[in-house]
A and B are shown apart, each in its own frame.
Chain A
Amino acid sequence: MERDIFLACVLTPAIISLAFALVIRLTRRITRATVRERTASVLATTGWCAAVSSTLLLRQDIDFAAPEAWQQIIVPITVIAAVLVLMTISTTTLASEWVRDIRWVVAGIGCVVVAMMVMPAGDGWVDMLPEHRGWIASVTAASLLNLWSLDRLARSGATTWVLLVVLAGLAAPTMLAASAYAGLAEWCLGAIIATMVFALFAIMDRRSMAWCSLVPAVLFATSATASGRFYTYEVHPRGLYAILLLAPTLIALPDFMLRNRSTWVRVACAATIAMSVLGVVAWLLLGDALFANPDEESW
Chain B
Amino acid sequence: MVQRSAMMLTLVFLAAGFSSAAEKLTLDLEKSKIEFVGTKPDGKHEGGFKKFTADATADMENPESGSLEIVIDADSLWSDDEKLTNHLKNPDFFDVRKHPKIMFKATKISHSEGEEKATIVGTLTLLGKEGEITVPIVAALTETTVTITGEFKIDRTKWGMEYGQGKINNDVAIKTVLVMNR
Q: A interface vs B, CB < 8 Å?
A: 2, 61, 68, 120, 122, 124-125, 179-183, 231-234, 288-289, 295-299
Contacts and interface: CB of A to CB of B under 8 A. Distances in A.
B interface, how many residues as a size bin?
Answer: 20 to 34
A179 B82 CA distance: 11
Interface centre among B83, B84, B86, B163 (most CB of A within 10 A): B83
B158 interface: no
B85 A233 contact: yes
Interface in B148-182: 160, 163-164, 166-168
Contacts of A295: 43
A124 B40 CA distance: 30
B91 interface: yes
B97 A299 contact: no
Nearest to B87: A298
A2 B82 contact: no
Contacts of A179: 83, 86
Interface in B57-103: 81-87, 89-92, 96-98, 100
Interface centre among A2, A120, A179, A299 (most CB of B within 10 A): A299
A183 B83 contact: no
A288 B83 contact: yes
B91 A233 contact: no
Contacts of B100: 124
B83 A2 contact: no
B119 to A, nearest CB: 32
B82 A234 contact: yes
Given A124-B98, A289-B83, A298-B81, A2 B91 contact: no
A120 B89 CA distance: 16
B71 to A, nearest CB: 16
A296 B92 contact: no
A298 B84 contact: yes
27 contacts: A2-B167, A61-B160, A122-B98, A124-B97, A124-B98, A124-B100, A179-B86, A181-B87, A181-B91, A182-B87, A182-B163, A182-B164, A231-B90, A231-B91, A232-B86, A233-B86, A288-B83, A289-B83, A297-B81, A298-B81, A298-B83, A298-B86, A299-B38, A299-B40, A299-B163, A299-B167, A299-B168
Nearest to B97: A124
Contacts of A298: 81, 83-84, 86-87
A179 B89 CA distance: 12
A61 B91 CA distance: 11
A61 B96 CA distance: 17
Interface in B87-146: 87, 89-92, 96-98, 100
Nearest to B99: A124
Contacts of A288: 83
Nearest to A234: B86
Given A124-B97, A125-B97, A298-B81, A233 B163 contact: no
